[in-house]
Amino acid sequence: MDAQLRTLATSVSRASTLEGMVRPMLVLLQRITQLESTYLTTIDQDEGIQHILFVTNHGALQIREGADVPWHDTLCRRALEEGCLAADDVPRRWADSSAAAELGLQTYVSTPVLTESGALFGTLCGASQESISVNDPELRDVLKLFSELIAHQVDREAQAQRSRQRAEAAEGIAAEMSLLSRIGDLCLNARELQPVLTETAQLLGERGHSKHAVPFQLDDASREPAWSSHAGLLDAISGVLRTPEITHADNDPGVHGHLLPLDPDNPAVRQLRAAAGLTTDGSTRVVTVATEDGLQAGILLFADEATPLTNSEARVLGNCSSYLSLLAERLAYLRRLHEANRELSQHALHDPLTGLPNRRYLVEELGRMLARAARSKEAVHVAFVDLDDFKAINDHHGHEAGDQFLKALGGRLLDSMRTGDLVSRYGGDEFVLVATAGDPCTAERERSQLADRIARATTGAFELPAVTLDYGGPSVGVITCDAHESDADRILARADEAMYAVKKRRRTGR
């Protein structure tokens, strides 16, 4: 026995797989017990199946490796439930077992293989058609030892598998982040949509997300395809744009993150695949690029087979749609801003004295800023500035000095704000500033900082052409609009109320 166990120890230490460990173990167990068959099983209790994993047969009894048997009728289940793990009188003890009767079993041993967590992996078994004494305590110790060694190897392989899966998942996430980072950089620095569409399609092909990726862009006026990397597909793409999947998505306002699968049986889709030189058997998807005005562009993804996307692929392509859509939205906003600036010049939307936007422009631009904030789930700060004691400046130094002071103060307000924020002359001695908000959790601090920045910019000495003024500062009321507010006039009224509350505290000291 000792020599045999030493042989087993050598085999176990060299084994790198469960099979490499178990097969010599079954041979040794057969020699020790003299049973005709020794075997290892796995058990799926949910499915009610016992699977014969590895077998060593020596004699008339032949247990078939790879066989699946119903768990409810196995001697393993009966032995575990009854606590009888060895018997040399199987026909008498388990007379109602059809499996035992069919095999003609006389002797049977079994021990459970329990993982580190206590879960039942399977059983280590031996059986014979002959009656063999199996009640030796030493034999039970050997079976227990073998079972523990098997369980240890099962746990080790399971842990190795989990480690491999975690490593593969980490590699997949890293690759996903690398691709999205590259596309994000393209979008962040882009001045036009078309080059980004082209490079994104190439990246998707290089990273294995689509063998055939074809970008296209619509004409702003006609809403028909005006450009594609494959010009010969323009007519076919036009037909696909009228499919239900795209028309439904196009009616959904706002910035999208859509990956749309197209119906392979739709004639327009079949025509598109034929025009691309592809069979009709594969799948066709569209990474949409959309703004609040609807679909602007997209990337067609053709697959040779109708295979489903993995969660990672779906996530990457959905994020591509979001990134490209945000770029299209930003470019559309910049175009609208350019057009708005030109319109301002044409319609005199600036205050002639300070050169700042006037009240009309303020109301319109505030409405646009609120709409953008609503789409991005952000907020907007509005500061109402009233020049305390401005009348005294006019009375003591004249209206010309008062005008000079307004111009100088407007310039200081403008210099104190960030790019993209708005400074306007609301009327008379009142100014309104609009700034985009950051994290909602920091809104209160941002309001205080904005009020302080305005106070610093407008307090102190003003070197005017006519006179030097030492100004004590205005009353400043700052409010924050959340993503659901859209009434610019109501918001300005709230900011005005906040300003008057500040003015009252300054007068009364409370």
pLDDT of residue 251: 64
pLDDT of residue 496: 94
Q: How far apart are the first and last CA of the chain?
A: 97
Question: pLDDT digit string (tens) for 94-135?
Answer: 998 888 898 999 999 999 999 999 999 999 999 999 999 988
Give the DSSP letter string of 308-370.
PPPHHHHHHHHHHHHHHHHHHHHHHHHHHHHHHHHHHHHHT-B-TTT-SB-HHHHHHHHHHHH
| H/E stretch holding 137 | helix 137-189
Question: pLDDT digit string (tens) for 496-505?
Answer: 999 999 999 9
pLDDT of residue 245: 82
> Which of 248, 486, 266 has the alpha carbon at shortest distance from 379?
486
State the pLDDT confidence band at 174, using cuts at 50, 70 and 90.
confident
Q: Residue 257: is its pLDDT beyond 70?
A: no
Q: How far apart are CA 64 and CA 56, in angstroms?
A: 10
Question: pLDDT digit string (tens) for 203-254?
Answer: 988 877 677 899 999 998 888 999 999 989 999 999 998 888 887 766 665 5
Could you tell me the sign of the dihedral formed by the alpha carbons of 151, 152, 157, 162, in that order?
Answer: positive
Q: How far apart are CA 9 and CA 15, in angstroms?
A: 10
Q: Residue 443: is its pLDDT beyond 70?
A: yes
For range 184-188, the mean pLDDT: 89
In CATH terms, the superfamily for domain 2-160 is GAF domain (3.30.450.40)
pLDDT of residue 36: 95
pLDDT of residue 494: 93
> Which of 201, 307, 227 has the alpha carbon at shortest distance from 261?
307
Q: How far apart are CA 160 and CA 16, in angstroms?
A: 11
Which tokens in the block code for residue 261? 């699968």
Q: Residue 439: is its pLDDT beyond 60?
A: yes
SS3 16: coil
- Evaluate whether 190-334 and 348-508 have a shared fold: no
pLDDT of residue 347: 66
By percentage, how much of the chain surpasses pLDDT 90?
54
State the pLDDT confidence band at 14, using cuts at 50, 70 and 90.
low
State the pLDDT confidence band at 404, using cuts at 50, 70 and 90.
very high
Q: Residue 510: is its pLDDT beyond 70?
A: no
Mean pLDDT of the chain: 88
CATH topology of domain 190-334: Beta-Lactamase (3.30.450)
Q: How far apart are CA 110 and CA 113, in angstroms?
A: 10
pLDDT of residue 162: 87
State the pLDDT confidence band at 374, using cuts at 50, 70 and 90.
confident
CATH topology of domain 348-508: Alpha-Beta Plaits (3.30.70)
For range 157-176, the mean pLDDT: 83
Q: Residue 158: is its pLDDT beyond 60?
A: yes
Q: Is 488 exposed, middle or buried (0-12, 13-18, 19+ CB in 10 A)?
A: buried
| pTM of the predicted model as reported, rounded to 2 decimal places | 0.49
Neighbours of 432 (CB within 10 A): 26
SS3 299: strand
State the pLDDT confidence band at 440, using cuts at 50, 70 and 90.
low
**Is residue 50 within 8 Å of residue 69, measured between CB atoms?**
yes
pLDDT of residue 169: 77
Residue extents of the structural domains in the chain:
2-160, 190-334, 348-508
Q: Which residue has the higher pLDDT, 172 or 314?
A: 314
pLDDT of residue 97: 87
Q: Which residue has the higher pLDDT, 360 or 346?
A: 360
By percentage, how much of the chain surpasses pLDDT 70?
93
Question: pLDDT digit string (tens) for 266-280?
Answer: 999 999 999 999 988
